[in-house]
Structure 1
C-alpha cells in the first residue's frame, strides 16, 4: 500500500511541469549535500525517483546554453541525466567530453573543417545536431544512420527545430556488407543488431564505402560509431577510407564495450584497435562521464591505448583514432596514463576522476 501511494504521489508531481521541475531541483540539491562513498546516488536513489515522473512516451524539450534545442523521448539514462543536468541549461546533451571532441574534430583545425561526417547510432541527434551546426557554414553534411524509427523521427524533428538542413537521416544499419537484414534486439539505447530474416521489423545493412560511393562522396572527414557491438563491422566496411594517408583519412570516434569486445589481453590486441593501427591510426581511450555532467574548463583527457586502466565490472567507453595527433596539441587536451576512461563520482578519485579533480 505504501509503495502504491508513493508511486501515485510521484505520478501527480510528474503531471504538473512546475511541480516536476521543483522536485527535480530538490533531488539535485540532495545529491550535492550527502556523503555516500561507494554509492552511486544518481543510479540508486535520485534517478529512479525522476524516472517515476515520466512514461516512455513522454516527449521532453530542453535547450542548451548555446541555444540548441532538443526534443527527446524519456526512454533512457541519456534522457534522465539530460533532464537532471546541472546547470539546467548545460553545454551538451550527453557525454561532455565526447560532445566537445566531436565538435573539435568537425571543426578540423588540421584540415579546414569537415565536409562529410558519418554517424552510426545517431539516436535523437544529441551529437549529430552539434556536429551539423558546426559544419553547416562550410557546406558540411552529416550522414546520420539510425534504424530505430522513433529515434530517427526525433532526430529529424531536432534538425528542424534548429534550422538544420544538412543532416541526412538514414534507416540502414552500418555493417561489413550491404546485403544483410538486421533487427534490433533490446530496448531503445540498449538495443543491439542481430541478423534476421526479412520482415516488417528488420532493416537493411550498408557499408560506409558503398553508401558514400552511391552518394557521390569521395572524401570522408569523420566517423562516429555507437552501435552496440557493430563498430568493428562498420569500420571494415569503411576500409577504403581508412587506408587513405594522413590528412585525408577520416578521424574516428567509436564505442567499445566489454559485452562485445574482448580486451582481456589489452586494448591494443583487440580486433578493432588492430584494424585501426594496421591502417596507421593512433588510438586513445577518451575519459568521460556516461552522463550529462558539467566539465566546462576541464581539458579533454586521452589515454594511450597501452596505458588504460580496465579493471571493474563490464563497462564501455569511447575511443578516438586519428592519423594526425596534432589535432590534440594545445591546452584543451591532456594525455594521461594509468587511469580509467570511466569518470565515476562515487569511485576512487585517483582512477575515476579527472586528473585535476572534479
Structure 2
C-alpha cells in the first residue's frame, strides 16, 4: 500500500501535463477556508498549552507568579535569531575566535533580518517573531492544502485531502515550532508555494520563491535540487515553447548561500564558516550513516544520557525510519523530485555524530502530509489512528519545548 496517490485500476497514471492541469484547477474557496479554520483552532490550542505550561512548569518550583506572556517561547534557537537581528553576526569584532562564542553564523539571515524589519513596527521582539510565524504559518498551511488537493486520487475528493493534510500537519508531534520564533513556518511559506509554482511549470516564480526559502534555511538548496529534477522529468511532456530556455532560473536559489558564504569569509577567512559553526556547536561533523545511527542508538538506549535526552534520541531514530520509508514510497511511485528532497534532508541530518533535529525536519516534508492525506481517503481508519495515537505526542513535545526541556 503506497502513501502517495495509490493507482486506480480504471484509469491510467497521471502524466506531468495532467499534474500541471490539476495544479491549476480553481479549487473552491470553501476548501481554503476550512484549512484556515483548522489553522486558527490549532493556534488557540497551542497558545492555551503555552499558558498552562507557564503555570504548571515554572522555572522556579516555588514561584507564585507565572512567567510573562512570551516567556515560554524564548527558548534555544530563538536567542540566536534575536542576537543576529539585534547586533548582526560579528558584534564588536567578536567571532569564532572569541571565548564563549555562540556560533551564530550557523544560522542563515532570512528570519533574523525579517525579525529586525518587523520589530520596527512591533516594539516587542518576541511578539514580532510570533507574528512572523503566525502569518507565515497561515500561508504555508494554505499552500499545503492545495498541494494535497492536487495529489488527491479523485478530483471530487480534493477538498477532503487538503483538510486532512492540514490536520495531520498541524497536529504533528513537532507542530509547536510553527508557532515559535523559529524558521520552519517562514521557510514553508516560501517553499510550498514554490512547489505549487513548479507543478504549474512556472519556473521563474518557483525559482524566486526557492531563492527566498534558501535565505531562511540551507534546506532551500535541497528544494532547489528537487526543482531541477522536476524540471528535467517534465521536459518531455512540457508543451510550452522555450522550456529549456527557462533552465537558467534553476541556478537562482544558490545565490543566497553563495552570498552568505562570501560574507562570512570576508569576516572569518572561512568559506564554510556556517558549516564549521554547526560542527562546533551541534556536533554536526561528518560521520557515516551507520556511525550516526550507532551513536544515536547508544544515546537512546545505552543509559549514557539523562532520561529526557535519551527519549529525544529515541524520537530521532523513529523519525529516521519514517523518513526512509517515505523516501522508498516516493521512489516506488516515481516521484523523483520529492524523493531527492527527502533523501538530501535525511543525508544532511543523518551524517552527523548523532541525529539532531530530525523530528523538527518532518514539518518540512510536505510529501509526508500530502501522502497521509491521500492514504486516509482510501483507508478512513488512518485518520482515526493518527488522531488517537500520533496527535497526543504534539502536546508532549509542546510542553517539553515550552518548559525549557527540549533537547533536539
Q: TM-score normalised to the size of structure 1?
A: 0.29
Q: TM-score normalised to the size of structure 2?
A: 0.26
Instruction: Give the structure with the higher percent strand.
Output: 1
Instruction: Give the structure with the higher percent helix.
Output: 2
- Work out which structure has the larger RCO, using CA pairs closer than 8 Å and 6 or more positions apart in sequence: 2
